[in-house]
């Protein structure tokens, strides 16, 4: 383990909805979390929980009113709107980094841009998929409504096109085979941690 750094490192992982950013991040932490004192940031959202999502573990779920209250009190590092729901990262990220904790922040593309403005030394990782239809199948498995899927696919198309033209993210990982994608992210994090 690299103990030279007194400050932890932030890894911002983003992807179109359904591309596997959350599943990949969880598996990465399972495999190397202890080695690098690395954990996932639990972000905030005003959307209701999906089946099997746990408050305080997957997200901190807030009512829209409570979300606005937290924003006014300065609890957020950044906040964005995605598909008419609010998402935010906790301001405590900076304190954690200063205490030599390294973090994975899983956010949408706008969230990634906003967070990296606040913490420019963060490492940005974009996860994508070989076919847009893969996203549709994953969203259907999650039990999302057809109208929700259509909205998210439209957004995903825009994000994928934009990222292919204007590379915002430092690293790009293709999630065609889950384990390969996990290994790719582990290699990126390991290399960055050892710099």
Q: Is the pLDDT of residue 4 over 70?
A: no
Asked if residue 5 is part of any domain, the answer here is: no
Range 154-168 average pLDDT: 91
CATH code, domain carrying 170: 3.40.50.300
Alpha-carbon distance 130 to 148, whole Å? 21
User: 14, 112 in Cβ contact below 8 A?
Assistant: yes
For the chain, how many structural domains are there in total? 1
DSSP 92: T
Mean pLDDT rounded to a whole number for the chain: 92
What's the burial of 118, exposed, middle or buried (CB within 10 Å: 0-12/13-18/19+)? middle
Asked if residue 112 is part of any domain, the answer here is: yes
Element (H, E) at 62: none
State both tokens at 33.
Answer: 């979390």
Asked if residue 1 is part of any domain, the answer here is: no
pLDDT tens profile 43-89: 999 999 988 899 999 999 999 999 999 999 999 999 998 878 999 99
The pLDDT assigned to 77 comes to 96
Asked if residue 48 is part of any domain, the answer here is: no
Asked if residue 130 is part of any domain, the answer here is: yes
Range 98-105 average pLDDT: 96
Query: Picking from 8-17, 65-74, 140-149, which range would have the lowest pLDDT averaged per residue?
Result: 140-149
Q: Which residue has the higher pLDDT, 82 or 99?
A: 99
Domain housing 179? 10-41+100-193
pLDDT tens profile 174-189: 999 999 999 999 999 9
Alpha-carbon distance 116 to 67, whole Å? 21
Asked if residue 86 is part of any domain, the answer here is: no
DSSP string of 47-96, one letter each residue: SPPPTT--BTTTBEE--HHHHHHHHHTT-EEEEEEETTEEEEEETTHHHH
Contacts of 7 (CB under 8 A, 6+ apart): 97, 98, 100
């Amino acid at each position: 383990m690299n103990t030279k750094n007194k400050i932890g490192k932030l890894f911002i992982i983003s992807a179109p909805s359904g591309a596997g950013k959350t599943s990949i991040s969880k598996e990465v932490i399972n495999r190397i979390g202890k080695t690098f004192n690395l954990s996932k940031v639990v972000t905030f959202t005003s959307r209701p929980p999906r089946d099997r999502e746990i408050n305080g573990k997957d997200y901190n779920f807030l009512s829209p009113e409570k979300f606005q209250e937290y924003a006014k009190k300065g609890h957020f590092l950044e906040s964005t709107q995605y598909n008419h729901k609010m998402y935010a990262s906790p301001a405590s990220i900076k304190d954690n980094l200063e205490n030599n904790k390294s973090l994975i922040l899983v956010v949408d593309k706008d969230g990634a841009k906003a967070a990296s403005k606040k913490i420019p030394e963060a490492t940005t990782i974009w996860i994508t998929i070989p076919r847009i239809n893969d996203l549709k199948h994953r969203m259907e498995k999650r039990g999302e409504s057809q109208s929700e899927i259509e909205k998210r696919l439209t957004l995903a198309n825009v994000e994928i096109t934009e990222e292919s033209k204007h590379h915002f993210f430092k690293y790009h990982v293709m999630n065609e085979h889950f384990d390969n994608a996990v290994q790719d992210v582990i290699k990126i994090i390991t290399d960055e941690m050892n710099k």
